[in-house]
Structure 1
Amino acid sequence: MNRGPALAVVGATGGAGAVLLQILSQHADVWGEIRLIASPRSAGRKLVVRGEETEVLPLGEEALDGADVAVFLVPEQVAAQWAPVAAAKGAVVVDTSAAFRMDPDVPLVVPEVNPHAVRLRPRGIVASPHCVTLALIVAVGALHAEYGLSGLVVSTYQAVSGAGRAGVETLRAQLSLVAGTELGTGPGDVRRAVGEDTGPFAAPVALNVVPWSGEPADGGWSSEELGLRAETRKVLGLPRLAVAATCVRVPVVTTHSVSVHATFENEVEVARAHEILATAPGVVLLDDPAAGEFPTPADAVGTDPAWVGRVRRSPDDPYALDLFVCGDNLRKGSALNAAQIAELAAGEFSG
């Protein structure tokens, strides 16, 4: 019988929760009891984890009793209320929401980049970055370790599943509306066909791209753009790093992509950058454009790594690299990173 630490999965019935249960069944079994927790309306459902059917418990103090590690895959307001409760009961909390990411007493962790930070948790909570940050940070972090990152300019191509189930349902409904039509050939025709029902997006996402994701912030930026900037700085330990991001929603179901222009303190070489990326944990290098080999969301979806290609040295700056990265926003962008952090925390209970 496995006497490992007890794991509580809060938000087990959601999309990221379903992926986490798959990962727990695929990874080495370091856990003892795995307790599944969700909102009261989802309590009583039975889900399979590690080949065993397990009943979902309603979120409450009793459900959190005795948990050694608690992974929260829930909205920010739910995490803000219940993560401190779990921590006060002695659990190491891993939170995937934005509730604690910028708290100076909460480490923001990507295990391939800053695994040591898991132990530096005055509040008993470890935060996981936003899915867009996670799409690029493993690759950028590996290059930073070699060359010393000095600046980033990025454009994101974000899948609709980043907006939850409503985002996916909105895209599928709009695609069915425009399929077999001549829409997309005249000004405003897609918007007129879709009407006011654009779901969680500011404009139609089918046959379109929407250069906005998040809430309005100062200076015309969105909250997700400034969040990517702040999170990258915190994970890499570069509080003054120059970062500019444009977040764009695209008609892709799952897997975020990022176009990256990175500048460094030292001169870069593509051959050496290839070596770094080819051996970096959590990265797959796919970079032969002449043969049609480069990452796309359709290839990366359902996989764990960050897929990297189109690696080029800037023609105008020997200190700059341009690259394209794809990462599944439900795996590394959420559940996988949380699982990796939880497994690091589980190591503290061994012996």
Structure 2
Amino acid sequence: MGYRVVVVGATGNVGREMLAILAEREFPIDEIAAVASSRSQGTEIEFGDTGKMLKCKNLEHFDFTGWDIALFAAGSGPTKEYAPKAAAAGCVVIDNSSLFRMDPDVPLIVPEVNPDAIEGYKNKNIIANPNCSTAQLVVALKPLHDAAKIKRVVVSTYQSVSGAGKDGMDELFEQSRAIFVNDPVEPRKFTKQIAFNVIPHIDVFMDDGSTKEEWKMVVETKKILDPKVKMAATCVRVPVFVGHSESINIEFENEISAKQAQNILREAPGVMLVDKREDGGYVTPIECAGDYATFVSRVREDPTVDNGLQIWCVSDNLRKGAALNAVQIAELLGRTQLKKG
């Protein structure tokens, strides 16, 4: 027996990726529905490479009664209105927005890191998916934390424009083309020109000078991994279409060498270690696009602190950072909570 699954926000980048990954991983589905806003009603979307076409249904009129799981990729506005309705109808919501992440009654899940926390879904029938930059970070940190107990993390991110949605990708493309033909460049989605530039600003500024993206990384990592970990983040938008990169500096309570860390990461779930100390012996966003793994490279000791390491981490933000993690949550939910057949 399979599940009746709804993908909400099915016409967006993440929604389409969710449909593709559900098909790729052969998630046990009896029925699948693509749901989006009224302006996308009737739009046909392919269900992965199955050849099956789904006609988009209107979220405003969709009845979640009798459906098992709803993967939400619709943004905080529609999610705030419709996710509680879906949950009340008995459909378990797995939400990709930031809306429920810090709700103490909603589990924030990365299956390789804190699978046991999924039982908390029963409080509200809702599970939160973390921020894209947080998801890959905690996958890389978890096995190292288990081995030597992390005290402090300092991370700088290099985040692709797809994290800002289709508008962000379009803006990078249009600005790059404009520069080559000497047309004027007009920032719209971003605060400054993104083509051939980097912008140390993602989401809104907060009172302490950090941005909300940086705050999200800190509080979400604490909730998922360990509230005792001290952390600082700087989040930067870079002119890359897909794939987030992170430079991570880690201080541990216990001694750990680069060699030990490499051995641990080589066996860690969800991690692919590519760490040759030679030209090209590391992973960049171009290589990670379309892949499931969280790639780790450049593992080395930090001589400025006791028990310190530095690592480089890259992942496809539309996959592990969003759609894949949501589908993995659905798989975990099916295995442990909603067993059928």
Question: Shorter-normalised TM-score: what interval?
Answer: over 0.9
Contiguous gaps of at least 5 residues in structure 2: none
- For 2:177, the equivalent position in structure 1 comes to 176
The aligned residue for residue 316 of structure 1 is: 304
Q: Determine the structure 2 residue equivalent to 1:225.
A: 214
Indicate conservation of the 8 Å contact 2:243/2:315, yes or no.
yes
Identity %: 42
Taking structure 2 as the reference length, the TM-score comes to 0.95
Output aligned runs, 1:271-310, within 5 Å: 271-310=259-298
The CA distance in 1 between the partners of 2:340 and 2:51, in whole Å, is 24
Q: Supply the AA of the counterpart residue of 1:172.
A: F
**Aligned to 1:25, what secondary structure does the other structure show?**
helix
- 2: CA distance, partners of 1:109 / 1:273: 24
In 2, distance between residues paired with 1:33 and 1:111?
A: 24
- In the TM superposition, residue 193 of structure 1 has moved relative to its aligned partner by 4.7
The structure 1 segments of at least 4 consecutive aligned residues displaced by more than 6 Å after TM superposition are none
Which residue is 2:196 aligned to? 207
Aligned residue runs from structure 1 range 10-159, under 5 A: 10-49=8-47, 50-60=50-60, 62-121=62-121, 122-159=123-160
1:207 aligns to what SS in structure 2?
Answer: coil
Assess if the C-alpha contact under 8 Å between 1:57 and 1:63 holds in 2: no
The whole-number CA distance in structure 2 between the counterparts of 1:199 and 1:231 is 29
Q: Secondary structure at the match of 1:64?
A: coil
* Counterpart contact for 1:254–1:329, Cα < 8 Å: yes
Q: CA deviation at 1:134?
A: 1.4
Q: Is the 1:20–1:335 Cα contact (8 Å) retained in structure 2?
A: yes
CA distance in 2, matches of 1:247, 1:113: 22
User: Equivalent residue of 1:78, what SS?
Assistant: helix
User: Do 1:11 and 1:37's aligned partners in 2 also have CA atoms closer than 8 Å?
Assistant: yes
8 A contact 2:27–2:331 mirrored in 1: no
User: How far is 1:179 from its partner?
Assistant: 2.4
**What does residue 330 of structure 2 align with?**
342
Q: Following the alignment from structure 1 to structure 2, what is the Cα–Cα distance between the partners of residues 302 and 62?
A: 31
Partners of 1:311 and 1:342 lie apart in 2 by 32
Alignment length, in residue pairs? 336
Shift of 1:296: 0.5
Deviation at 1:180, TM superposition (A): 6.9
Q: Distance in 1 between matches of 2:308 and 2:20?
A: 39
1:185 corresponding residue in structure 2: none
Instruction: List runs of 5+ in structure 1 lacking aligned partners.
Output: 182-191
Q: CA deviation at 1:57?
A: 1.1
Match of 2:317 in 1: 329
Partner of 1:189: none
The one-letter amino acid paired with 2:18 is: L
Note the C-alpha offset of 1:350. Answer: 1.9
Q: Is the 8 Å Cα contact of residues 61 and 85 (structure 1) preserved in structure 2? A: no
Given that residues 107 and 128 in structure 2 are in contact (C-alpha distance below 8 angstroms), is that contact kept between their aligned partners in structure 1? yes
Q: Among 254, 263, 286, which residue is 2:242 paired with?
A: 254
- Cα deviation, 1:101-149, whole Å, max 9, x if unaligned, reads 0000000000000111112121110000001111221011121111111
- Cα RMSD (Å): 1.5
